[in-house]
Amino acid sequence: MLSPDQTQKVISYLFRSVEGQAPRETYVILDAARDDGIFPKLANFDTEDLCLYRGGKAIELANVAPYLIDLKREDAFTQWVLMNGWGKSWGIFFQSSVSFKELHRHFRKFLMVYDEKGKPLYFRYYDPRVLRVYLPTCNESELQILFGPVERYYVEGKAENQLIEFGCTEKFQLFQNVIQW
């Protein structure tokens, strides 16, 4: 759990603008399965959010599904997520300049993977423990697919006082920065 000062440090990093680049929005994919309080909070706050599941699965698994959420710097929901969920692997943060619908389409593509026998498995890429290990193993074409419209991914580190930023060069070479406070 972050203190108010630590929360402000993370917010200033997640919402920072880069000189010479187009403005970007900051988003989170939260895994409602990580905490019983996530799903009810989505209804209590005025957030733009969409379940990544569709149809019957979205209804059947609503209280444990992953949700794409548009974060706002000064919003109480952003404060709540960071102060209550940091260090608990609630989700991943990222920046993008494309539409919410495009992001929803992009992230839905990664929900299912298949094992060597063709059996479908849920891919929990939105768990920061998974993404921070998985991204460094990706080759150039995999990074191109995973990043798509995403400019930066941000995940909590193994230590509670760490934020890990992942990005790609123009030639899809992964880089990461570990920010500590």
- One digit per residue, the tens of pLDDT, for the chain of length 181 reads 788 899 999 999 999 877 777 779 999 999 999 999 999 999 899 899 999 999 999 999 999 999 999 999 999 999 999 999 999 999 999 999 999 999 999 999 999 999 999 999 999 999 999 999 999 999 999 999 999 999 999 999 999 899 999 999 989 999 999 999 8
Displacement of CA 106 from its chain's centroid (Å)? 12
Angle, CA of 147, 152 and 157, to the nearest 5°: 110
pLDDT of residue 115: 95
Strands (DSSP E) found in 34-149: 48-51, 66-71, 91-96, 112-114, 120-122
| CB-based contact 121:115 (threshold 8 Å) | yes
pLDDT of residue 58: 94
pLDDT of residue 41: 95
Please count the other Cβ atoms lying within 10 Å of the Cβ belonging to residue 18. 11
pLDDT of residue 17: 79
pTM for the whole structure: 0.94
pLDDT of residue 144: 97
pLDDT of residue 3: 87
Which range of residues forms the domain containing residue 142? 4-15+24-180
- Token pair of 131 as six digits: 């993404």
pLDDT of residue 20: 72
pLDDT of residue 109: 96
Query: Considering its fold, how many domains does the chain have in total?
Result: 1
